[in-house]
Amino acid sequence: MVTTTAILTLIALALFVFNARRTRQQVNGLKTGLKLLLKNLPIILLALILAGMVEVLIPRDFVQNWLSAEAGIRGVVIGVLGGIMLAMGPYATLPIVSSIYVSGAGIGTVIALISSWSLLGLSKTPHEAAHMGGKFVAYKTVLGLSMSFLAGCVGLGLEYLFF
Amino acid sequence: MKKTLIGLSIATLIIVLLAYFTGGTDLVLDGLDRAFGNMKKAGFMILTSFLLIGQLLCIVDENMVNRILNNIKGLKGIVISALVGGLMPVGPYLFYPFVKMFHGHDLPYYILIAFIFGKYTYDFARIPMEISLVSPKIALLRYLSTLPIPIIAALITYRLFRNRTLSQLHHRKTD
């Protein structure tokens, strides 16, 4: 955790220096970041509480049978379907995904969950339909479902090979 | 945003009540304890992530993306548009009106698919959040597993529709 924070801090500093030299927008960048944080803070806090509750409520047997690495393809399919249902932004979704992972879900399931949420999450559909039309939504859904399933299977394979 | 907050508040309230009726006050406190533990662990990382995102937003703008997308094609075009898609730091409410701007252009459908799938699969502005809110290991494996997705999706689209553009497909024209 400390190493990751240090790396993120270094990247942020590098971008700050880059902006200072190239765009002179470095202070605006800081303000934008802080504004974005303040705007999303209530969502992050609520999502973390929700995730903490999910962690203690989710039955171990369910995770073991349906979401763990041992669940195999079944876990990936549930991950894909679950991701579509998570119709929220990243600040709300990612803590929930984390709680499912901490409860014992397999890597394939978690990857399928994040992939299908990011590609097919229901919160995007109204925007897609409004601007791109129904045919586009249908095509993207079919493609997105197969790609999320594929990503989950790759994750499952990585888990079997390396963990 | 307001809708998300209301929806999340209701969901949190329901799940807290569920915890209370399942295991009483102890289970609720256990859940809150875990939540605050995670907040303490990830707090500084979340702050750093947002500062990083703020700087990134100053580098990438819509004009830059527009310029790049209108000058590419082929496999190289697929890879570039997927990467540029990943750099788009906006939510769907701004992203799709932007994509719609390409309706009148001769941008092939497969390039557009690479761009859209790149946006949602790579989303570079989301990396810090995935690292801080889920785990560095999962973030890394997720990126590795999904790295070829926009390219595969675009190649399938190329196989199906060749060089047809979005507006041609919408009007059922063939090339």
- pLDDT tens digits along A88-131: 778 888 988 998 998 889 999 999 999 999 999 887 887 788 77
pLDDT of residue B107: 82
Contacts of A32 in chain B (CB under 8 A): 53-54, 57-58
Domain ranges of chain B: 1-59, 61-175
CA distances from B142 to A99, A150, B122, B135 (A): 16, 12, 10, 10
**DSSP annotation string for B47-112:** HHHHHHHHHHHHH--HHHHHHHHTT--HHHHHHHHHHHHHH----HHHHHHHHHGGGGTT-BHHHH
Half-sphere exposure of A65 (CA within 13 A, CB side): 5
CB B78 within 8 A of CB B151: yes
CB A111 within 8 A of CB A79: yes
CA distances from A128 to A61, A160, B100 (A): 38, 36, 10
Backbone angles phi, psi at B108, to 5 degrees: -60, 150
Q: Provide the 3-class DSSP secondary structure of residue B165.
A: strand
CB B85 within 8 A of CB B99: no
The amino acid at B121:
T
A130 at B interface, C-beta within 8 A = yes
CA–CA separation, B143 and A83 (whole Å) = 16
pLDDT of residue B175: 41
Closest CA to A101 of B141, B40, B25: B141
Backbone angles phi, psi at B165, to 5 degrees: -100, 170
Cα of A163 vs its chain's centroid, Å: 21
**Chain B neighbours among A 95-124 (CB < 8 Å)?**
95, 97-98, 101, 107, 110-111, 114-115, 118-119, 123-124
Q: Give exposure, B18-46, as e/b (b: 16+ Cβ within 10 Å).
A: ebeeeeeeebbebbbebbeebbeebeebb
Contacts of A132 in chain B (CB under 8 A): 96, 99-100, 166
- pTM of the model as a whole: 0.80
Give the residue on A whose Cα is nearest the Cα of B117: A119
**Pick from B31, B58, B95: CB nearest A55:** B31
Strand partners, B165: B108
pLDDT, tens digit, for every residue of B117-162?
A: 999 999 988 888 899 889 999 999 999 999 999 999 999 999 999 8
Give the residue on B whose Cα is nearest the Cα of A139: B157
Contacts of B48 in chain A (CB under 8 A): 5, 8-9, 12
**Chain B neighbours among A 56-95 (CB < 8 Å)?**
56-57, 88-92, 94-95
CA–CA separation, A32 and A15 (whole Å) = 14
Under the banding of pLDDT at 50, 70 and 90, the label for residue A81 is: very high
Least confident of A21-35, B12-26, B32-46: B32-46
CB A134 within 8 A of CB A102: no
Under the banding of pLDDT at 50, 70 and 90, the label for residue B1 is: low
Closest CA to A86 of A46, A123, A126: A123
